[in-house]
Amino acid sequence: MRRLKVFKNLVIDSLDAITKGSRKYHIWMAFLTFVMLAGMYCYSIQLKEGLSVTGMSDRVSWGLYISNFTFLVGVAAAAVMLVMPTYVLKDIDFKRSVLMGEGLAVAALIMCLAFVVADMGGPSVLWHMIPGIGVFNFPNSMLTWDVIVLNGYLFLNLSIPFYILFRRYQGKVPNPKIYVPGAILSVLWAVAIHLVTAFLYQGLQARPFWNNALLGPRFLASAFAAGPALIILVLAVIRSFTAFKIEDKTLNKISMIVVVAAQINIIMLISELFKEFYAPTHHSESAYYLFFGLDGKTALLPWIWTAISMNVVATVILTIGKLRRNLKVLYFCCALLFVAIWIEKGFGLIVPGFIPGPYGKIVEYLPTGIEVGVTIGIWAMGAFIFTILAKTAIGIELGTLRYKSRKD
């Protein structure tokens, strides 16, 4: 009973916290709301007309939505890079940022689910996928595995921070016996969500571009570069706009993770390029299309080369310790890396899987305005959710949000 009352107060207090803020905060939230509404409008058109309003076709049947989904799974998985040192290895430097990482994971996961729903032809019959009342083709379909791991991870990342914040809100100390097992589980789980998502593609013998053993590990490496890079950027913003203090030391430690992951990612990229181009076979055609174009069709060329150059430049700069410790350079490189991996793990991965088609047909893919609108809308939704979560969490951590601190 008491718990319920505390919870009610928490909801009221956090509502209070997220509706009050500086002028900049209000402009930011209004802007996000506007973008979300625009995205919803685009989605309503898609619902009415069908997926024909997107650039996808029978030849390239997955596009921008699934690309973003794949990338965001990686971002979500990266939260673990902060969870592990904090809860498991008890490294206190990460303590303040770990909640942000988990908030980011929650926002990314919700975006993932939104992208999957946006990609569905029949969102009204999605209940067919709910185990028990629908038919769940488990364990045959990797997609069902993905549904399980994504929702499980979402649950973990909601419940752990909630428990910690709920205790803090009441001015109590969270009991590590309760949250550490959860944290360890979520570490394993994070690897699983990314590996399973890679298996989604890796398991298709029909698409040689995806059907290679390196896909899973490469997913992990790039995710552990892009995710923490985003966390660094987010922390930088929070640091400058709120009273929440994050030490340089924390940023430096996170940047170490980014560097190592980015380096491994590049090594794997080289290995992949070697395999595709040293002794090219019929199966290398997709890679040819991606990197050099096929039959004069070169839509992806500018993208992939931009991505690779950004990737290499950022990795090289970050490898040099002196440059890395300069925060301005660090932020710049993180932004570069984030965009580069978004391109690479996004449509640089999904689209070439379909080109050339099973019988060598080359039909290119270009997202339409509506598709882009929905995509940006979902990103805005993610930012919106994260802002709300972060604002509440910061309030509680700073002690401004406390049970009964306001009442009586």
Partner 1 sequence: MSEKKKWYSLDLGLNRKKSDTTCGCGKTEGGCGSHKPEMTDDAFLEAAVNASIGEEVRKDGFEQVFDVKMDRRSAFKKLTASLLIGAGAVSTSCSVISGDDSKEKAQIDWEEQFKGNYKLMNDDEKKATVDRLMRSYELRTGKNISMTAENAADDVLFGYAFNISKCQGYMDCVNACVEENNQDRDSQMQYIRIHEMKDGKGFNFNEADDNYYHEVPAEGHFYMGTQCFHCDNPPCVEVCPVSATWREDDGLVVIDYDWCVGCRYCMAACPYDGRRFNWSKPEVPEAEINKNQHYLGNRMRKKGVMEKCTFCVQRSRKGQNPACVEACPTGARIFGNLLDPKSTIRWVLENKKVFRLKEDLGTEPKFWYFMD
- The contact set with partner 1 (CB under 8 A) reads 49-52, 56-58, 61-62, 116, 119-122, 124-126, 128-129, 132-137, 140-144, 147, 200-201, 203-207, 353-354, 356-361
* Shortest spacing between CB 67 and partner 1, in angstroms: 13
- 219 Cβ neighbours under 8 A, 6+ residues apart: 70, 74, 194, 195, 197, 198, 345
Question: Residue 143 or 312: which CB sits closer to partner 1?
Answer: 143
* Shortest spacing between CB 374 and partner 1, in angstroms: 15
Question: Residue 173 or 206: which CB sits closer to partner 1?
Answer: 206
Residue 364 φ/ψ, nearest 5 degrees:
-85, 165
- Asked whether the bond before 208 is cis by omega within 30 degrees of 0, the reply is no
* Shortest spacing between CB 122 and partner 1, in angstroms: 4
Residue 297 φ/ψ, nearest 5 degrees:
-95, 115
Encoded tokens for 154: 């979402």
Question: Residue 153 or 224: which CB sits closer to partner 1?
Answer: 153
Question: Residue 295 or 408: which CB sits closer to partner 1?
Answer: 295
DSSP 8-state secondary structure symbol assigned to residue 22: -
Question: Residue 11 or 135: which CB sits closer to partner 1?
Answer: 135
Residue showing tokens 């305005």: 369
- Tell me how far CA of residue 331 lies from CA of 34, 266, 317, 327, 348, in angstroms: 27, 20, 11, 6, 24
* Shortest spacing between CB 41 and partner 1, in angstroms: 19
Identify residue 257 by its one-letter amino acid code. Answer: I
* Shortest spacing between CB 292 and partner 1, in angstroms: 16
Determine the Cα–Cα distance for residues 108 and 69; give it in Å rounded to an integer.
Answer: 9
Identify residue 254 by its one-letter amino acid code. Answer: I
* Shortest spacing between CB 192 and partner 1, in angstroms: 17
- 275 Cβ neighbours under 8 A, 6+ residues apart: 212
What is the three-class DSSP state of 297? strand
Question: Residue 321 or 360: which CB sits closer to partner 1?
Answer: 360
Identify residue 280 by its one-letter amino acid code. Answer: P
3-state helix, strand, coil in the chain (%, to 5): 75, 0, 25
* Shortest spacing between CB 222 and partner 1, in angstroms: 21
Determine the Cα–Cα distance for residues 251 and 307; give it in Å rounded to an integer.
Answer: 24
Question: Residue 202 or 255: which CB sits closer to partner 1?
Answer: 202
Which value, in Å, is the radius of gyration of the alpha carbons in the chain? 22
* Shortest spacing between CB 217 and partner 1, in angstroms: 21
Question: Residue 129 or 312: which CB sits closer to partner 1?
Answer: 129
- Asked whether the bond before 280 is cis by omega within 30 degrees of 0, the reply is no
Question: Residue 58 or 408: which CB sits closer to partner 1?
Answer: 58
DSSP secondary structure of 109-136 = HHHHHHHHHHH-S-GGGGGGGSTTTS--
Residue showing tokens 């002794």: 279
Question: Residue 294 or 388: which CB sits closer to partner 1?
Answer: 294
* Shortest spacing between CB 146 and partner 1, in angstroms: 9
* Shortest spacing between CB 209 and partner 1, in angstroms: 11
* Shortest spacing between CB 2 and partner 1, in angstroms: 37
Determine the Cα–Cα distance for residues 215 and 272; give it in Å rounded to an integer.
Answer: 9
Determine the Cα–Cα distance for residues 336 and 311; give it in Å rounded to an integer.
Answer: 7
Nearest to 137 by CA among 147, 152, 123: 147
Question: Residue 107 or 374: which CB sits closer to partner 1?
Answer: 374
